[in-house]
Every structure is written in structure tokens, then in C-alpha cells.
Amino acid sequence: MIRIDSVTKRYPDGTVAVDRLSLDIPDRSITVLVGPSGCGKTTTLRMINRMVEPTEGTILIDGEDSRRQPVTTLRRSMGYVIQNAGLFQHRTIADNIATVPRLLGWGKQRARDRAAELMERVGLDPSLAGRYPYQLSGGQQQRVGVARALAADPPVLLMDEPFSAVDPVVRKGLQDELLRIQDELGKTIVFVTHDIDEAIKLGTMVAVLREGGRLAQYAPPAELLSRPADGFVEDFLGADRGIRRLSFFPSAALEPATDAVIPAGATAERIAATAAPHLLVTDAEGRPLGWAAREELTGGDVGTDRLLPYGRPFVPGVDSLRTALDSAVLSPTGWAVAVDGDGRVTGVVSQQTIGEAIRAAHTAAHTAGGAGTAGRAEDEKVAG
Ligand SMILES: Nc1ncnc2c1ncn2[C@@H]1O[C@H](COP(=O)(O)OP(=O)(O)O)[C@@H](O)[C@H]1O
Ligand SMILES: [Mg+2]
């Protein structure tokens, strides 16, 4: 564990960048430092690998004062990734990635094999190995930066706004990749960002810093959203906090109704047997085709040309209540379409049912929450 113990950084010009900061950073998880520009995030990160020395306080690595080990040993145990990747422009991608292994005296072939392995790990085509950084897109360069930081297999990864300079779609890909890598490798990651959505998506724990390098709140994302410590944190989280919090509630308890689902070509009797005003029509495999008003179908012939779009289905138990609600809101009938992992319809769910599930989830979280700790159900992240 990395323990930041009452650390202050005062730069020579008198600027207090970090003010008596204390944080316990757990092993094998992603801890995010988030806050507005100038609040001391980079300074904090750099004190961990001693690129900046604290003015006061101590940083302990597994219980030992970080000043007690040689700075080269310390840095070797910590990969470092920055915005714009910071690659060596005159070296190939493979050589960039192999930088630290080569410094450690690895042979050429071993370093090259390691580079190839890491390119695959971070989702880069091996054919890019011989290229130079300028021949890669921003997102690809960022992946190289991550691969380079992982090259000597350090237990700790320090990342300073690594994805801030790429467009939102590429950024999402990089975030997903990082979560996957973390799952596979179990690194201790300290991740700096000014983007609260990125913090909530990636963080197991999130430290919100305010100007002057003071800690505003340190909590799991679901707890930040449900119990912001003060007005500053609440403002920083933004307006749609309630909706975003639904990402942490599972949709497993929703029970899709099946009586409003009919296959194309259903008989008049089958249609007459359902009371629902709108019917979801599926193809022969059970995949959704669209919505039809019941009275339009009473002739028995389900024409697929006049169907209303069914929107974006959700997968109960996999997707969150936020995705389920979005699905209902996007549906022209107000009913969400539930599908299984193969995209086959398992039923439909009304906005009202989703609303009831949201209220039940809030009540459960509140009861389980107790004083100051997040409810268990909220701690688990749910996809979507
Ligand atoms: N080398 C330095 N000398 C003086 N002040 C600095 C130095 N580096 C950063 N600062 C100041 O310290 C504060 C925190 O900076 P920084 O840690 O870079 O914040 P962040 O990464 O959150 O934007 C800012 O006010 C910044 O101007
Ligand atoms: Mg910074």
C-alpha cells in the first residue's frame, strides 16, 4: 500500500501546491485524483515517485518511508504515463516500449519479445512495431505510452491525465482498455484527471482535491454520488448526479413482462389474448423488429413495414438501472426492451416498473449504507 501521510508541498516561490494531504492508496486497484486545474494533482503524483520531494510529511510504500530506498529503485517499481505519451520521437515503437528493459540490461531479443507481447496487451497491431511515433494516431501513441510504462512489470503505475488529449470516442476505448489491463494484471494504479466522469468510471477510490491542494473527499464513486461531502464536491460532480448514480444499481430485479411480445405472423387469437396497448414484434429468432399498436394488428397480419423503432434494448442483470431507464426513455412507447446476451427478447419493462426499482434501490442503499459508508450493492460497478 502507498500511504500519503500528512504531506505538504511548498514550492520555493511560496506556492502551497499540496496542503497536509493524507491518503491510503490500496494495492491492485485504481485510485483517481480528480479536481480543477492547479489543485495539486500532478505535484501529488510526482511526490509518489520523488520527482518532487515533499516539504513536510511522509510517503510510505508498504510501510517503509519512500526516502529510504534509492530513487532509481523506487522509480523502477513505478511506471509513469503522461499526456501526449511523451514518446522518444527518434525511436521506433518497439524501441520506445523496450526502453526500460534495455536499461535494465535485457538482451535485444528478449526486449523485442517483451515489446511485442505488450503491444498485444494494450491493443496495438504488431505491424506497428517498426514505425515512429509521428506515424501513429494520438490514441495509438497513448497505448504505446502505457505499454512502455508496463515494460519492466512494475507493481505501480502512475498516470497523469494520460487520456486528456484524445477525442471522446478514442478516450472511451483507452479507458475500457485500462480497466481490462487492470483486471488482468492487478497493478496499483494512481490516475490523475480533471474529468469527473473519467474518475467515476475508472476509480475504485476517488480523491477529490480542491484548490490549495486540500482533500475535499475520498470515497468510492458511488458514495461520492450519493453523499457528496460538501457544496464544492456537489458542484464538481455536476447537475445529473442522480441519473449517473443509477449506473451503480443493477437491473437484475426487473422482471420483464412477456405478454406484450409477439412473433411476426402471430395469429389473431394470440394478439387478441394480450391486453397491452403496444406489442413488440419479433422475428423468427426472437430478435426485436419494432412496436405496433394493438388495434393495427387485430387483423392478424403483422406487417413489419409500419413498426415503430424499439430503441436501444438492455440486458437485465448485466446493464445498470441507468441503461434500463435510458432504454425506456428512448422507446416511443415508454417501454424498455429487455434482451438476453444474444439479443433475443426476454420481455418488456415499463417506465413505471423501472421507477419502482429505482426507489427500491435507493431504499436498500440507504438502509445498507449506515453512517458514512456506501451500501454494498452500490460498491459493485455495473456495466453501462
Ligand atoms: N515548479 C513549480 N514552482 C512553483 N509553483 C508550481 C510548480 N509546479 C506547480 N506549481 C503550482 O502548484 C499548484 C499545483 O500545481 P499542479 O500540481 O501542477 O496542479 P494540477 O496538476 O492539479 O493542475 C499550481 O498553483 C501550480 O501553479
Ligand atoms: Mg497536472
292-328: pLDDT as tens digits? 988 777 655 556 678 899 999 999 999 999 999 999 9
67 shares its domain with 128: yes
327 part of a folded domain: yes
Look at residue 381 and tell me if it is in a domain.
no
Please indicate whether residue 307, judged by its CB atom, sits closer than 6 Å to ligand 1.
no
- Contact, 324 vs 341, CB < 8 A? no
Distance, CA of 373 to CA of 158 (rounded, Å): 27
Q: Which of 8, 43, 45 to mutate to test the pocket of ligand 1 (most atoms within 8 A of CB)?
A: 43
Check if 15 has its Cβ closer than 6 Å to any atom of ligand 1: yes
Q: Which three cell numbers stand for residue 258?
A: 412477456
Ligand 2: centre distance to CA 160 (Å): 7
pLDDT the model gives residue 382: 61
Asked, for residue 365, whether it belongs to a domain, the answer is no
How far, in Å, is the centroid of ligand 1 from the Cα of 146? Answer: 24
Protein residue with least CA distance to atom 7, ligand 1: 11
- Report helix angle 321-330 to 351-369, nearest 10: 160
Long-range Cβ contacts of 103-106 (<8 Å, 24+ apart): 104/76, 104/152
Residues that place a CB less than 5 A from ion ligand 2: 42
Cell numbers placing 219: 470515497
Query: What atom in ligand 1 is closest to the CA of residue 160?
Result: 21
* Ligand that comes closest to the CA of residue 83: 2
Does 26 share its domain with 169?
Answer: yes
CATH of the domain at 267: 3.10.580.10
Q: Kindly state whether residues 100 and 210 are assigned to the same domain.
A: yes
Which atom of ligand 1 is the closest one to the Cα of 39?
22
The residue contributing the CA closest to ligand 1 atom 11 is 17
Cα 5 to middle of ligand 1, angstroms: 20
User: From CA 163, how far away is CA 197, in angstroms rounded?
Assistant: 13
Q: Which of 247, 282, 299 is a domain's end point?
A: 247
State if residue 42 touches ligand 1 by the CB under 6 angstroms criterion: yes
Clarify whether residues 25 and 60 are in a common domain.
yes
* Residue 299, pLDDT score: 59
- Per residue in 182-206, pLDDT (tens digit) is 999 999 999 999 999 999 999 999 9
Domain assignment present for 383: no
Burial of 119 (0-12, 13-18, 19+ CB in 10 A): buried
Q: What average pLDDT is seen over the chain? A: 90
Q: Give the H or E element holding residue 58.
A: strand 56-61
Query: Does 323 share its domain with 228?
Result: no
Question: What are the helix (H) ranges across the chain?
Answer: 41-48, 71-76, 93-97, 99-103, 108-121, 138-150, 168-185, 196-202, 221-226, 231-237, 241-245, 268-272, 294-297, 321-330, 351-369, 376-379
> For 323, what's the count of Cα atoms within 13 Å in the CB-facing half-sphere?
22
Q: Is the CB of 278 under 6 A from ligand 1?
A: no
Cα 18 to ligand 1 centre (Å): 9
pLDDT tens figures, 108-160: 999 999 999 999 989 999 999 999 999 999 999 999 999 999 998 999 999 99
- Considering 215, 247, 279, which residue would you say is the last residue of a domain? 247
Mean pLDDT (whole number) for 269-287: 87
Residues whose CB is less than 8 angstroms from the CB of residue 69 and which lie 6 or more positions away in sequence, other chains included: 61
DSSP string, 108-171: HHHHHHHHHHHHHHTT--GGGTTS-GGGS-HHHHHHHHHHHHHTT--SEEEEESTTTTS-HHHH
CB 328 within 8 A of CB 334: yes
User: 19-23, 101-105, 349-353, 374-378: which has the minimum mean pLDDT?
Assistant: 374-378
The b/e string for 20-42 (b: 16+ C-beta within 10 A; e otherwise) is ebebebeeeebbbbbbeeebbbb
Instruction: Report which ligand 1 atom has the smallest distance to the Cα of 213.
Output: 14
Say whether both 183 and 268 belong to one domain.
no
Q: Same structural domain for residues 164 and 291?
A: no
The edge-to-edge listing of strands for the beta sheet with 56-61 is 16-25, 2-10, 56-61, 64-65
Ligand 2 midpoint to CA 200 (Å): 18
**3-class secondary-structure state, position 4:** strand
Q: Do the domain assignments include residue 125?
A: yes
- Centre of ligand 1 to C-alpha 206, Å, is 20
Q: Name the residue range of residue 141's domain.
A: 2-247
The CB of 53 under 6 Å from ligand 1? The reply is: no
From 13, 37, 42, mutation site for ligand 1 pocket: most ligand atoms within 8 A of C-beta:
42
The residue type of 15 is T
Ligand nearest to the CA of 33: 1
How many angstroms separate the CA atoms of 335 and 167, rounded?
Answer: 33
Tell me whether residue 64 is in a domain: yes
User: Is residue 74 within 8 Å of 128, Cβ to Cβ?
Assistant: no
If one counts the domains in the chain, the total is: 2
**Spatial separation of the C-alpha atoms in residues 305 and 264, rounded to whole Å:** 11
Read off the pTM. 0.85
**Are residue 225 and residue 293 in the same domain, yes or no?**
no
Domain assignment of residue 253, yes or no: no
Side-chain-side CA neighbours of residue 31 (13 Å): 23
Q: Is the CB of 14 under 6 A from ligand 1?
A: no
Is 43 close to ligand 1, i.e. is its CB under 6 Å away?
A: yes
Query: What's residue 302's pLDDT?
Result: 57
How far is the centre of ligand 2, averaged over its atoms, from the C-alpha of 85 (Å)? 14
- With respect to residue 255, please indicate whether it lies within any of the assigned structural domains: no
Residue bearing the CA closest to ligand 1, atom 24:
38
**Separation of CA 383 and ligand 2 centre (Å):** 29
Q: Which atom of ligand 1 is nearest to the CA of 13?
A: 4
229 and 269 in a single domain? The answer is: no
Ligand 1 centre distance from Cα of residue 212 (Å): 10
Lowest mean per-residue pLDDT among 74-83, 100-109, 264-273: 264-273
- Indicate which CATH number applies to the domain containing 158: 3.40.50.300
Reported for 338-341, long-range contacts at CB under 8 A and 24+ positions apart, including other chains, are 338/254, 338/256, 338/313, 338/314, 339/287, 339/288, 339/313, 339/314, 339/315, 340/315, 341/315
Listed residues 247, 278, 312: the one ending a domain: 247
Same domain flag for 180 and 56: yes
8 neighbors 15 (Cβ within 8 angstroms): no
> Averaged over 82-106, what is the pLDDT?
90
CB of 13 closer than 6 A to ligand 1?
A: yes
Q: Is the predicted pLDDT of residue 274 greater than 90, yes or no?
A: no
Q: Report the residue count for the chain.
A: 384
* For helices 108-121 and 138-150, angle between their N-to-C axes, nearest 10 degrees: 130
Same domain, 92 and 35: yes
Q: Are residues 65 and 206 in the same domain?
A: yes
Cα-flanking dihedrals φ and ψ of residue 166, to 5°? -110, 160
